[in-house]
Structure 1
């Protein structure tokens, strides 16, 4: 189904039309019973509870030249009272840990989404990936596409279905892509194909392929939108020995016999990097063939890797083909780049602050020296019409922290 056009959606009426966007939201499912010799998704005391637990990642300074808080030190902040297996039971100030925020970030963002959805009533959600930490669906690729494994069902129930619901949110379509952690993070053979298969098991999860498109009509308001979902995870497909913890093709962590050819994925560790980069070229060629055909008033691209990756190509898409908006994640924060100079005037935002993993910097608003954008945890609310789109960055407490207006190119 690569490159398929999902059936057109139509939203009649003359109300104010809203779209939500979120990414990097799916925490650890600590109550999942592991299979295939895998470890339980628990990294600190209290992580075995039902529902999501936040994964604490390293925190660096803004220039990524100084490691402020290593993962194993950061764990001490999350442990209650201390992690028994770690010798230093101190939560260091450099970690910038905010109790009540960092330890329940996904739930806080979801609560803010629910509150705003009850008022905004979004028609659909743009999901930029990293849907399940740490490594996506915790089983090997290769489950038949007409089956949903007990592992996938448990993770979807605990981390997605049980979290994002309520008035204005229940039943709304989630237009989704895979993030690097959905492929496996540091392996390529986790159950990414089960996230695709869930499309036919759910009334709201839509990811029929790693890249695909969605046409949307607003008949009573006289405009339409074309949304292109693409897979940019080649950016984390490196040579086998390189950066083992941030490499889908890691020779340190991938099994020697890893093979996802049965799911139309990488056939081997040796072929992994070339497969992903060929796949990226395939995504690019497809998108370049689709954009000139679009008759819609708006063209939006949704992908995982953040504003700045492949910037020359996106600049061309904006200036030559009229791409109006780029929606991204991967960096674990909220960044609104209106009419980005490096993208040739294209507006792009990063919505990687969904809370499944700790934010890039402390969420303490009194200490913003290492912030890239306007916030650390949150989502976006887009108000769209034929002539303009208001983009609002919503903090985890529900407050609007930044906004910009975009006009169709």
Structure 2
């Protein structure tokens, strides 16, 4: 989103300089040295709080690179999620060789960054990156997950997205910004946002960029990790731009959609929704399931109601109750407890800020930090998924956590439009 600042109305509060809406949190921290336990207060409406989210020290797996033979494939395609860093290419927890990344020793620690890549707000983006580096060093972060949008028009760049696989933005707005001693060694997993689709060819250029820490293998892909106690977490990375805007798109999206062979006649949106539905069914037995996409299904109600098909995606999420759906697009920090085992999370202020946006159902317990640059730190132990929402001033504005999920029973995926392996609705050609 583009940078917008507005004053919050009644009901806002201030903690560590950050404005937020919703229930008050128990306390605020100023750095990872004082916030290394990520168990949130019980008033957030979540369950399963633990004290192991603040594990510190470098993880031997952090920054390991090399191809996954089939890391975390849960969809109908044998090649879904087949690239990116692999913590252990061998057998772990009895899983098939090469299918699971091994984080059984210390759990899986990662950072969430959304709506960055904006030279217009470069100073604030650099402050966010510096705080991310501090947390990565203290927590032994394994990965950064980018929620889109990745590259904006602004400053000296007169175009959205990127214009080639070697575009200067990859250096100026990514490598040179996230250049901290620790953070520069941490691999990224990414999805595309709307600004990445605005420039003709930009989505494929971002997937073609060559850097060991840049991992954007496809429109849709999965990763699976083994946690302490041989618990498991599946990450499902989804492409939401067609689902949000529809086939007409915005700016040059329609050209990019056509180039990807996406069309109403091909029923592309139905195939994408079916793939998500089927993939969540395959991951249903895992203790943790994290779905990553750019656009909201709950956290910003006006975005959801104004979209083409995001309501259908939201219904699929409600059916399968993943641990969390995490998005950017609206440039605030937010979380809401949808149920005792499911969170809706928004992290969209890595390089842009917005005023607050009311969620689909304001009665759900949660909080929102508006007009504030920041990111989130996340930890998956064998028993919980814990989040710290951190401002550019390295202040923890809010925290939450949720325990291991219980598999959903009595429902099945609708496979009427499930695409065959290699279908362009899911895979870049």
TM-score normalised according to structure 1 size? 0.63
Could you tell me which residue of structure 1 aligns to residue 268 of structure 2?
279
Q: Secondary structure at the match of 1:347?
A: strand
Return the match for 1:195 from 194, 206, 213: 206
1:373 and 2:384 correspond: no
User: How big is the shift at 1:3?
Assistant: 6.9
Q: What CA distance in whole angstroms lies between the structure 2 residues aligned with 1:3 and 1:281?
A: 20
CA distance 1:196–1:361, change in 2 (3 Å): same
Could you tell me which residue of structure 2 aligns to residue 109 of structure 1?
128
User: How big is the shift at 1:6?
Assistant: 2.4
User: How big is the shift at 1:280?
Assistant: 3.2
Q: What CA distance in whole angstroms lies between the structure 2 residues aligned with 1:379 and 1:212?
A: 23
Could you tell me which residue of structure 2 aligns to residue 49 of structure 1?
none
Deviations 1:182-219 (A, max 9, x none): 001xx6x2421011112xx111111111111111223x
Are the aligned partners of 1:328 and 1:349 in contact in 2 as well (CA < 8 Å)? yes
Could you tell me which residue of structure 2 aligns to residue 335 of structure 1?
334
Are the aligned partners of 1:307 and 1:349 in contact in 2 as well (CA < 8 Å)? no
Are the aligned partners of 1:109 and 1:354 in contact in 2 as well (CA < 8 Å)? yes
Stretch deviating more after TM superposition (1-10 or 121-130): 1-10
Q: Secondary structure at the match of 2:314?
A: helix
Are the aligned partners of 1:215 and 1:224 in contact in 2 as well (CA < 8 Å)? yes
CA distance 1:13–1:217, change in 2 (3 Å): closer
Are the aligned partners of 2:113 and 2:146 in contact in 1 as well (CA < 8 Å)? yes
Are the aligned partners of 1:390 and 1:406 in contact in 2 as well (CA < 8 Å)? yes
Deviations 1:250-278 (A, max 9, x none): 4xxx499x5665x5255xxxx6xx48x94
Could you tell me which residue of structure 2 aligns to residue 215 of structure 1?
224
Superposed counterparts of 1:5-404, under 5 Å: 5-6=81-82, 9=87, 10-12=101-103, 14-15=105-106, 17-27=108-118, 52-54=119-121, 104-134=123-153, 136-139=160-163, 148-149=165-166, 152=167, 154-184=168-198, 189-198=200-209, 201-218=210-227, 221-237=229-245, 247-248=249-250, 250=251, 254=252, 258=255, 264-265=260-261, 274=264, 278-294=267-283, 295-308=285-298, 309=304, 310-311=310-311, 313-318=313-318, 320-337=319-336, 339-340=337-338, 346-355=342-351, 357=352, 359-361=353-355, 373-375=368-370, 376-404=372-400
Q: Secondary structure at the match of 1:159?
A: helix
How big is the alpha-carbon RMSD for the aligned residues of Structure 1 and Structure 2? 3.0
Deviations 1:375-408 (A, max 9, x none): 4211111121111111111111111111111112
1:408 and 2:417 correspond: no
Deviations 1:280-315 (A, max 9, x none): 322211121112222432111000002423356435
Structure 1 runs of 4+ with >4 Å offset: 258-261
Stretch deviating more after TM superposition (162-171 or 16-25): 162-171
Deviations 1:29-51 (A, max 9, x none): xxxxxxxxxxxxxxxxxxxxxxx
Q: Which runs of 5+ in 2 are unaligned?
A: 1-76, 88-100, 154-158, 299-303, 305-309, 357-366, 406-429
Q: Secondary structure at the match of 1:354?
A: coil
Are the aligned partners of 2:321 and 2:342 in contact in 1 as well (CA < 8 Å)? no
Are the aligned partners of 1:171 and 1:204 in contact in 2 as well (CA < 8 Å)? yes
TM-score normalised according to structure 2 size? 0.60
